[in-house]
C-alpha cells in the first residue's frame, strides 16, 4: 500500500484491511473506502443489505460525503458514520454483552448471506454498544460471497467470541481478561487446555474449540497441498456452520454461582437507612439536573441504581464496576429498555484499561477516552483510599483528569463500611478525614455544594474541575 499509515489523522487501529481506513478531521470521524473495495461497497449499498442491516439496528448508519479523502490516490468514496460518543472493548464487557455481540455478528452474517455477501472478518472490536444494542461499526466488513469458499473469519470468530464465552461460562468469568492480553482473541490451544473435560462431549465446543485447536496444532508447520486447498464448501454447509456457531454461542450461559438474579445485588441499600438512601438519590438527582451532563461516568456503579438517574436525564451513562456480576445484572436490567442511555462496563479503577495493540494505539486507555462531563464517585472513595492505599491528593488528581463535574460521596473513617476495611489491618491513614478530603480535592476542584446525608454520617459534594 502506498498510503501513509503513520498519518496523524488516521486512526491507530485502522491499518490491517486494505479496503479502507478511518481518519479524523476537525473532530469528526470519516471512513475512506478504497478503490480496491469498490465492487463490494457498491454491492452492499445496491443489494439493500445496507438498508436491511441499518433498519435491524445491526450496522452503524453512514452518509456518503463530499470531502477530500485522506489518501486521494486510493480513494473511491468517503463516508461519515454516525458518531459514537464512547468506545468500549470486549475485555470491558460482561458475559451477556459479549454473547450479544457474538450473536449480532452471526445475525449480520445471516442477512449478508441472503443478499449474496459474507463477513470477511469477525472481530469483537468491530462491535460497539449503541443505545444498549450491539452494532457492527465496520462498514467495510463485507465481501461478495463466492459459492464454494469457506468462511475466512471462522478462526477469528472462535478466538474473539466462542473461546472467551466458553471460558467465562465453564471455567471462570474473570478469564474474559485474557482478551486484554491476546489482541486477536484467545488462542484456541489455551482455551482448550483451560476448559473442563465435559466441554469435550458436546458437539459445539468439541468441534469449534477442541478439534479446531488440535487441527491448528497439527497443521502449524505444514503447507496446505493444492488438492486440499481446492476443496470447496457448499452454501448449505456454510449455512450449517453458521447455524452451529450460533447454537453453540447461544447455549452458553453464565450466572454468578449460587445466586438468583432478583436478589443477587440489591444495590448497596443495606449500608444505609431507608431515609439516607432516599436522600442520597434525591441529592444526586438534584446535582445532575443542575449540571445536565451529556456524558456521565459512574465510577463504582454496582448494578446501576444511581447511574440510572443520569441515564433518565438523557445523559449517555457509562456505569463502571469491578464486579462482573454487578455489570451483568445492570446490562440485563437495561437491555429491554428501548434506546437506553446506559452502558455498563467492567473496570478496575486500581488498574484501568491501558493502551493496547500495535504501537499501543489500537485500543485506547480509559484515560484517552476521558473526559466525561460528569463523574459519579458514590461510596467509592474508601475502596480506593483505604483498600488500595491511594492518598487523597492522588485520587483528586486522577478524577480531575477523568471528568469536568464531580459528584462525590465522602465516607468518614467511623462509617461501618470503612471500619470493615480496617478490621484486619493497621490504620495508617492519618490523612483520611473530612478536612483532609476537602483540602486535597480543593486543589483540583471548586467545591460548589456540600450536603450531609440525613440519618447518616456521609456527605455529598458537587465539585467542578478547576
- The reply on whether position 423 binds other proteins by CB under 8 A is no
The binding track of 193-212 with respect to other proteins, each residue x by CB under 8 A or -, is ---------xxxxxxx--xx
Give the span between the Cα atoms of 335 and 262, in whole angstroms.
Answer: 16
3-state SS class at 164: helix
Distances (CA, A) of 168 to 93, 194, 328, 376, 460: 12, 11, 12, 29, 37
The continuous run of DSSP H or E covering 410 comes out as strand 403-410
466 binds other proteins (CB under 8 A): no
Span interacting with other proteins, options 213-221, 268-276, 305-313, 443-451, rule CB under 8 A: 213-221
Q: Which of 92, 246, 305, 323 binds other proteins (CB under 8 A)?
A: 246
CB of 44 to other proteins, least distance (A): 13
What span, in angstroms and rounded, lies between the C-alpha atoms of 339 and 342? 9
Do the beta carbons of residue 172 and residue 325 sit within 8 Å?
no
The number of residues in the chain equals: 466
Residue from 64, 147, 243, 443 touching other proteins (CB under 8 A): that is: 243
* Of 30, 91, 129, 238, the one binding other proteins by CB under 8 A: 238
Residue whose CB is less far from other proteins, 51 or 214: 214
- Interface with other proteins (CB under 8 A), residue total 63
Residue 240 beta carbon to other proteins: minimum distance, rounded to whole angstroms: 3
Burial of 335 (0-12, 13-18, 19+ CB in 10 A): middle
Which of 127, 137, 158, 374 is close enough to bind other proteins by CB under 8 A? 158
Tell the burial category of 245 from Cβ atoms under 10 Å away from its Cβ (0-12, 13-18, 19+): buried
Binding marks (x or -) toward other proteins, 24..53, rule CB under 8 A?
A: ----------x-xxxxx-------------
Kindly tell me which residue out of 220, 257, 274, 423 binds other proteins, with binding defined by CB under 8 A.
Answer: 220
Contact (Cβ atoms closer than 8 angstroms) between residue 405 and residue 465? yes
What nine digits make up the cell of 335?
Answer: 437491555
| Closest approach of other proteins to the CB of residue 212, in Å | 5
User: Do the bridges between strand 316-321 and strand 295-298 make them parallel or antiparallel, or are there none, so unpaired?
Assistant: parallel
User: For residue 234, with 0-12 CB atoms within 10 Å meaning exposed, 13-18 middle and 19 or more buried, which class applies?
Assistant: exposed
Least distance (Å) between residue 3 CB and other proteins = 13
- Min dist CB 369 to other proteins, Å, is 27
Give the residue, chosen from 51, 215, 394, 447, that forms a contact with other proteins under the rule CB under 8 A.
215
328 is an interface residue for other proteins by CB under 8 A: no
Phi, psi of 33 (to 5 degrees): -100, 125
Q: Under the rule (CB under 8 A), what is the footprint of other proteins? A: 16-19, 34, 36-40, 100, 103-104, 107, 120-121, 143, 150-156, 158, 202-208, 211-212, 215-224, 226, 228-229, 231, 233-234, 236-241, 243-244, 246-248, 250-251
Amino acid at each position: 500500500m502506498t498510503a501513509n499509515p503513520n498519518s496523524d489523522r488516521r486512526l491507530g487501529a485502522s491499518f490491517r484491511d486494505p479496503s479502507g481506513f478511518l481518519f479524523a478531521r476537525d473532530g469528526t470521524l470519516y471512513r475512506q473506502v478504497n478503490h480496491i473495495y469498490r465492487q463490494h461497497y457498491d454491492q452492499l449499498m445496491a443489494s439493500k443489505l445496507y438498508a436491511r442491516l441499518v433498519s435491524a439496528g445491526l450496522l452503524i448508519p453512514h452518509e456518503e460525503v463530499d470531502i477530500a479523502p485522506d489518501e486521494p490516490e486510493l480513494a473511491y468514496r468517503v463516508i461519515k458514520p454516525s458518531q459514537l460518543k464512547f468506545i468500549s472493548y470486549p475485555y470491558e464487557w460482561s458475559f451477556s454483552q459479549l454473547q450479544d455481540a457474538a450473536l449480532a455478528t452471526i445475525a449480520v452474517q445471516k442477512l449478508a448471506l441472503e443478499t449474496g455477501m459474507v463477513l470477511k472478518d469477525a472481530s469483537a472490536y468491530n462491535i460497539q454498544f449503541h443505545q444498549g444494542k450491539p452494532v457492527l461499526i465496520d462498514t467495510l466488513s463485507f465481501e461478495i460471497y463466492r459459492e464454494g469458499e469457506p468462511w475466512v473469519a471462522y478462526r477469528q470468530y472462535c478466538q474473539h467470541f466462542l473461546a472467551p464465552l466458553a471460558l467465562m461460562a465453564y471455567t471462570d468469568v474473570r478469564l474474559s481478561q485474557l482478551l486484554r492480553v491476546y489482541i486477536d482473541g484467545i488462542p484456541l490451544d489455551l482455551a482448550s487446555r483451560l476448559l473442563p473435560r465435559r466441554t469435550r462431549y458436546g458437539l459445539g465446543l468439541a468441534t469449534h474449540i477442541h478439534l479446531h485447536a488440535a487441527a491448528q496444532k497439527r497443521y502449524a508447520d505444514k503447507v496446505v497441498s493444492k488438492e486440499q486447498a481446492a476443496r470447496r464448501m457448499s452454501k448449505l454447509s456454510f449455512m450449517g456452520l453458521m447455524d452451529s456457531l450460533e447454537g453453540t454461542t447461544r447455549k452458553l450461559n453464565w450466572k454468578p454461582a449460587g445466586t438468583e438474579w432478583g436478589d443477587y445485588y440489591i444495590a448497596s441499600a443495606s449500608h444505609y437507612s431507608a431515609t439516607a438512601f432516599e436522600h442520597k438519590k434525591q441529592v444526586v438527582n438534584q446535582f445532575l439536573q443542575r449540571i445536565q451532563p451529556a456524558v456521565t461516568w459512574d465510577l463504582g456503579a454496582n448494578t446501576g441504581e444511581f447511574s440510572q438517574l443520569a441515564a433518565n436525564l438523557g445523559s449517555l451513562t457509562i456505569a463502571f464496576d469491578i464486579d462482573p456480576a454487578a455489570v451483568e445484572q445492570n446490562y440485563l436490567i437495561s437491555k429491554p429498555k428501548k434506546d437506553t442511555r446506559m452502558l455498563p462496563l467492567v473496570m478496575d479503577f486500581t488498574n484501568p484499561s491501558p493502551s493496547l495493540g500495535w504501537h499501543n494505539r489500537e485500543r485506547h486507555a480509559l484515560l484517552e477516552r476521558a473526559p466525561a462531563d460528569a463523574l459519579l464517585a458514590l461510596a467509592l472513595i474508601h475502596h480506593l483510599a483505604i483498600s488500595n492505599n491511594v492518598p487523597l491528593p492522588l485520587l483528586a488528581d486522577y478524577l480531575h483528569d477523568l471528568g469536568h463535574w464531580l459528584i462525590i460521596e465522602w465516607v468518614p473513617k467511623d462509617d461501618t463500611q470503612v471500619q470493615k476495611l480496617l478490621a484486619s489491618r493497621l490504620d495508617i491513614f492519618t490523612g483520611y478525614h473530612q478536612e483532609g478530603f476537602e483540602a486535597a480535592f480543593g486543589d483540583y476542584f471548586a467545591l460548589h455544594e456540600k450536603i450531609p446525608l440525613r440519618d447518616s454520617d456521609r456527605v455529598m459534594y458537587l465539585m467542578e474541575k478547576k
